[in-house]
Amino acid sequence: MEAKLPDARPLINVCDRFGFVPDLTHYLYVNNMLRYIEGYVQKVNPGNAPAVVGQLLDDECAEDFIKGLILSVRSLLPVEPLVEECEKRNRLRLLTQFLEHLVSEGSQDVHVHNALGKIIIDSGDNPEHFLTTNPYYDSRVVGKYCEKRDPTLAVVAYRRGQCDDELINVTNKNSLFKLQARERMDGDLWEKVLSTDNEYRRQLIDQVVSTGLPESKSPDQVSATVKAFMTADLPHELIELLEKIVLQNSAFSGNFNLQNLLILTAIKADPSRVMDYINRLDNFDGPAIGEVAVDAQLYEEAFAIFKKFNLNVQAVNVLLDNIHSIDRAVEFAFRVEEEAVWSQVAKAQLREGLVSEAIESFIRADDVTQFLEVIKAAEDANVYHDLVKYLLMVRQKSKEPKVDSELIYAYAKIDRLGEIEEFILMPNVANLQNVGDRLYDEAFKDYI
Checking if the pLDDT of 215 tops 80, the result is no
- Tell which wins on pLDDT, 211 or 287: 287
Residue-wise pLDDT for 91-144, tens only, equals 999 989 989 998 998 989 999 999 999 999 988 889 999 999 999 999 999 999
Spatial separation of the C-alpha atoms in residues 293 and 236, rounded to whole Å? 18
Checking if the pLDDT of 374 tops 90, the result is yes
When pLDDT is averaged across residues 417-445 and rounded to a whole number, the result is: 83
Residue-wise pLDDT for 252-267, tens only, equals 888 899 899 999 999 9
Checking if the pLDDT of 209 tops 80, the result is no
Phi, psi at 428, each rounded to 5°: -155, 170
142-150 CB contacts, 8 Å cutoff, 24+ apart: 142/114, 142/117, 142/118, 143/170, 145/117, 145/118, 145/121, 146/121, 149/121, 149/122, 150/121
- Percent of the chain beyond pLDDT 90? 50
Instruction: Give the model's pLDDT for residue 445.
Output: 57
Ordered DSSP codes for 281-345? --SS-HHHHHHHHHHTT-HHHHHHHHHHTT-HHHHHHIIIIIS--HHHHHHHHHHH--HHHHHHH
- Percent of the chain beyond pLDDT 70? 94
Residue-wise pLDDT for 331-342, tens only, equals 999 999 999 999
When pLDDT is averaged across residues 241-254 and rounded to a whole number, the result is: 82
When pLDDT is averaged across residues 384-399 and rounded to a whole number, the result is: 92
Average model confidence (pLDDT) across the chain: 88
Instruction: Give the model's pLDDT for residue 231.
Output: 82
Residue-wise pLDDT for 77-98, tens only, equals 888 999 999 989 999 999 899 8
Spatial separation of the C-alpha atoms in residues 408 and 394, rounded to whole Å? 14
Cα-to-chain-centroid distance, residue 348: 43
Instruction: Give the model's pLDDT for residue 187.
Output: 64
